[in-house]
Amino acid sequence: MKKVEFGSQIAHVGSTEELCVSLADEVEKLIRERAAEGKMAILGLATGKTPLPLYAELVRRHREEGLSFANVVSFNLDEYEGLGRDHERSYWAEMWVNLFDHVDVVEGNVNVPPSEPEDAERAAGEYEEAIRAAGGIDWQLLGIGGEGHIGFNEKGSELESRTRRVELAKRTVEDAADDFGGVENVPTHAMTMGVGTILDAKRVVLMARGEGKQEIVKRSMEGEMSADVPASFLQKHENMGWFLDEGAAG
């Protein structure tokens, strides 16, 4: 694995396997250190295809190496509006299928933004409050959308944005169409942590794989910081790591 510096940004470049080992090492260290102090580790987690091999590696460490998630509290970045927890495309369900069902996390410690809140603004405020009450996110994992969104912070999302209800961009809906069997089935709205919420995390890591992400990763790491590419605001974070495979790094 290579460590490459781009201006103030640090990229870790390697195979998917190397990226996953390195990221899983960070998670494991945090969990074990906190456990030794009798404290919880607060993880910010992401969905999408990108982190799946990382989750598989964490499950493997749980099964084979005794890594316990009993002291983990998790906050997911986002959730589609209108998809209940039993909907297989809800991010709640995806997190359980790909990670939580296979480890010893306590269900009450798993947080995903609500999909069907009666009052979205209030629910968003409560999500923010829950993160604060937990002591803030220690380690936040991100993927990146084709137009530079993080969570569901689409183009136009400002640096100060907090958890809120958002409308999905056309490109995001198109990208999800296959998973939903057509664009017409993709939810039009979601609830997402804001850019500001994400930047409050003590450590932020963004994982990107494949050539399809190369251009947007470049614009995010090296371009001007602007709401046109919300991931560009990550340049501001003092403890930010970009974890890229050869395709995404280019």
Given the complex with ligand GLP, which of 77 and 195 has the nearer CB atom?
77
Q: Would you count residue 166 as binding ligand GLP (CB under 6 A)?
A: no
Smallest gap from Cβ 247 to ligand GLP, in A, equals 12
Q: Are 224 and 216 in contact (CB under 8 A)?
A: no
Q: Does 46 bind ligand GLP (CB under 6 A)?
A: yes
**Contacts to ligand GLP from residues 189-248, by CB under 6 A:** none
**Cα(1)–Cα(16) distance, rounded to whole angstroms?**
10
The β-bridge relationship of strands 240-244 and 139-142 is unpaired
The rounded distance, in Å, linking the Cα atoms of 145 and 148 is 5
Please identify which residue in 3, 49, 63, 236 interacts with ligand GLP, judged by CB under 6 A. Answer: 49
13 versus 217: smaller Cβ distance to ligand GLP: 217
Mapped onto helix, strand or coil, the DSSP state of residue 105 is coil
14 is a site residue for ligand GLP (CB under 6 A): no
Please give the residues from 56 up to 115 whose contact with ligand GLP meets the rule CB under 6 A: 77-78
Tokens matching residue 217: 């990763």
Q: Which of 111, 172, 220, 232 binds ligand GLP (CB under 6 A)?
A: 172
145 binds ligand GLP (CB under 6 A): yes
- Whether 219 and 183 have beta carbons less than 8 Å apart is answered as no
Task: Decide if 180 contacts 89 (C-beta within 8 A).
Answer: yes
Question: Cα separation of 243 and 1, whole Å?
Answer: 10
* Residues 209, 75: Cα–Cα separation, whole Å: 23
Question: Does the protein bind ligand GLP through residue 143 (CB under 6 A)?
Answer: yes
Q: Rounded to whole angstroms, what are the CA distances from 182 to 77, 90, 99? A: 24, 16, 26
Measured from the CB atom, the residue of 67 and 123 that comes closer to ligand GLP is 123
Which region among 5-13, 40-48, 65-73, 193-201 touches ligand GLP (by CB under 6 A)?
Answer: 40-48
Residue with token string 């969570």: 151
When binding is defined by CB under 6 A, the residue of 151, 187, 230, 241 that contacts ligand GLP is: 151
Among residues 13, 14, 24, 50, the one that binds ligand GLP under rule CB under 6 A: 50
Compute the distance between CA of residue 227 and CA of residue 32 in angstroms, rounded to an integer: 37
Q: Which stretch binds ligand GLP (CB under 6 A): 23-31, 57-65, 126-134, 145-153?
A: 145-153
Interaction site with ligand GLP (CB under 6 A): 46-50, 77-78, 143-145, 151-152, 172
